[in-house]
A = this chain, B = another copy of it.
């Protein structure tokens, strides 16, 4: 084939808020009606605090139609075709701040100021819709369900089963576990076991953070002027909050007990981070000169946490810059999965073709093919042959990546 099969490891989809109503269990529709205007007002507030309304409005101008691909089946097909993308991993939160599932069941999965039962209801509504949405194009769309695991392990097991039976092969679980038992505690084993048995991938995605640390203890009722540089702190440490829960799993022996379990970390595949992070994990496993006094933390592991990472995990390297592609072997050539982040404004869309070439031009064809799609096909267990078929019409031409 003269084209690459591209899988975007990082895409987003979600309904306009009011449309989630019919996907909720009936008993949650009255609370939904009460909360919807509050949620919309808070979204507007958050846009003032956290997202610059102007920049977002500017970015949307002229692409409003194309952005309805966040939930519209036909529009999304057009957009992805034009973008050269054959398949995609579909996370929640369509156009960042406007398409989140109800009751706080979005990408950040907060646990503060949340009613657990409502958050679960919102997650179920999103997952039902997403299952329908992915079923419209099951070869191309791999859905990641929302799963507020911390509140209820049994429900999470049931949700993993729902996902497996309904074409949602990933479970997004909370990244921020403050105030809860973290993921090294074997109390979560039934969930890991279910995911392993069902072939469901555990997913983490950049975004969550302890927002009250950045925007004050009164967040979201907050005056951003009182917190100069808050966003700078947030973007400087968001990598930590995205990887942290996985690191609890790695040290906790989760992948020792469940050797076929897979976990991904998305929109955090940075070259500045991954090589030193893996070296650090190896170092702490191998060299105990400084840590011997702290007791045994290794005998339940048969290899280094970094080795489990290399064996069981992969990273969604959204919008990967050229510099990172050049150190791909240090980052882990088998684990890098490129992504567009459509329809988020920080993504490559609508300049995907140019951005892809800028990143990969002149690299060995096999490496490009792996990072653009092959690794994601293998890791998420996608139908590679069917995706090749799609790519034969829409994929970027290999000739365009010549040095």
By a beta-carbon cutoff of 8 Å, the part of chain A in contact with chain B is: 49-52, 55-56, 59, 96, 177-182, 184-186, 210, 213-214, 216-217, 224, 226-237, 240, 244, 247-248, 250-253, 270, 272-273, 276, 279-281, 283-285, 289-298, 300-301, 305, 319, 345-346
Contacts and interface: CB of A to CB of B under 8 A. Distances in A.
A236 B272 contact: no
A291 B229 CA distance: 12
A35 B283 CA distance: 39
Contact of A240 (B186, B210, B237, B298): B237
Contact of A319 (B230, B231, B270, B290): B290
A294 B228 contact: no
Given A237-B247, A292-B55, A297 B184 contact: no
Contacts of A216: 181, 185
A50 B293 CA distance: 8
Give the copy number: 2
Contact of A231 (B217, B228, B247, B294): B294
A301 B233 CA distance: 13
Given A52-B293, A216-B185, A292-B55, A272 B281 contact: no
Contacts of A273: 276, 280
Contacts of A240: 237, 240
Contacts of A226: 185-186
A345 B289 CA distance: 9
Given A237-B244, A276-B276, A295 B232 contact: no
Nearest to A210: B178
B346 A51 contact: no
A66 B154 CA distance: 56
A226 B224 CA distance: 40
B51 A228 contact: no
B233 A248 contact: yes
A227 B52 contact: no
A229 B251 contact: yes
27 contacts: A51-B294, A52-B293, A52-B295, A56-B293, A59-B293, A177-B213, A178-B178, A178-B210, A180-B217, A181-B217, A184-B228, A228-B253, A228-B300, A229-B248, A229-B252, A229-B297, A229-B298, A229-B300, A231-B295, A232-B305, A236-B247, A236-B280, A236-B305, A240-B240, A270-B280, A272-B283, A290-B346
A180 B50 CA distance: 20
7 tightest Cβ-Cβ pairs between the two chains A and B: A229-B251, A232-B251, A231-B297, A232-B297, A52-B295, A290-B346, A231-B294
A293 B96 contact: yes
Given A184-B228, A235-B284, A237-B240, 9 more contacts: A56-B293, A182-B233, A228-B251, A229-B298, A232-B297, A235-B290, A272-B280, A272-B283, A273-B276
A240 B294 CA distance: 18
Given A50-B295, A213-B177, A272-B279, A284 B232 contact: yes
A253 B231 CA distance: 13
A309 B52 CA distance: 28
A252 B228 contact: yes
Nearest to A294: B231
A178 B176 CA distance: 13
A50 B96 CA distance: 42
Interface centre among A185, A226, A236 (most CB of B within 10 A): A236
A227 B50 contact: no
A295 B178 CA distance: 27
Nearest to A233: B251
